[in-house]
A = this chain, B = another copy of it.
């Protein structure tokens, strides 16, 4: 667990429980904590140099996001990626992002959103750089930022938060995909296309492009599952009982 560290040894700006939450969440999404792995409160507490109390509070939040599952008196499980969960999460993400991107296309105004445009162009440039360097972790972050900028045009913080949670799940899968297929440049191209449609105030085209963009995950899913079967569940619900490789 030596890869788990807090941002600063004695940083009082945020409560320890929040810092632990951020650190563990990042580790789960980057697959440093592997789906199916057991973790233990004492172990985490020792690694991070804090007591069990903030650890438990962080775990509780991650259980709410279904990234962890507590098995009482046995330990805590990093949840498997299940096909069902991915499909469910993808549907929600699509519904919300489609709605928000439509708003973005509707309200986009070249004159009033010069700053936003600069942000987007910068983001796309950074994405290209990350793609050139084949840096999957960084690329995922930038991809998320790009989506957040557009979503921000809908002026709905709650939506940003919900989409953030949904992405928590999907990103583990997307991380595997990026590491395997290195298709980052294709994704950036799609981002460019989508933004062009928004700039043209073309709501229908924006929605169509975004739907394709998000939908690609469904086709890639079965492939990546064969590459990392140990991270996936076969059955319907998330459970410790049945695993792909048993």
Name the B residues within 8 Å of A40 (CB-CB). none
- Do A158 and B95 form a contact, CB below 8 Å, given A60-B57, A60-B60? no
Contacts of A64 in B (CB 8 A): 61, 64
Contact yes or no, A158 B60, CB < 8 A: no
**Would you call A117 an interface residue if the criterion is a C-beta within 8 Å of the partner chain's C-beta atoms?**
no
Contact residue range for chain A? 20 to 34
Interface string of A49-73 (1 = CB under 8 A from B): 0000100110011001010000010
> How many monomers of this protein are in the complex?
2
Nearest CB in chain B to that of A159: its residue: B92
- A99–B157 CA distance with the chains assembled, in angstroms: 21
Q: Indicate if the CB atoms of A88 and B159 lie closer than 8 Å.
A: yes
In the assembled complex, A134 has its CB within 8 A of some CB on chain B: no
Q: Write the nearest CB–CB distance from A148 to chain B, whole angstroms.
A: 15
30 of the cross-chain contacts (CB-CB < 8 Å) are: A15-B72, A53-B53, A57-B60, A60-B60, A60-B61, A61-B61, A61-B64, A64-B64, A66-B158, A85-B158, A87-B156, A88-B156, A88-B157, A88-B158, A88-B159, A89-B158, A91-B99, A91-B154, A91-B156, A92-B96, A92-B156, A92-B158, A92-B159, A92-B162, A95-B95, A95-B96, A95-B98, A96-B96, A157-B237, A162-B162
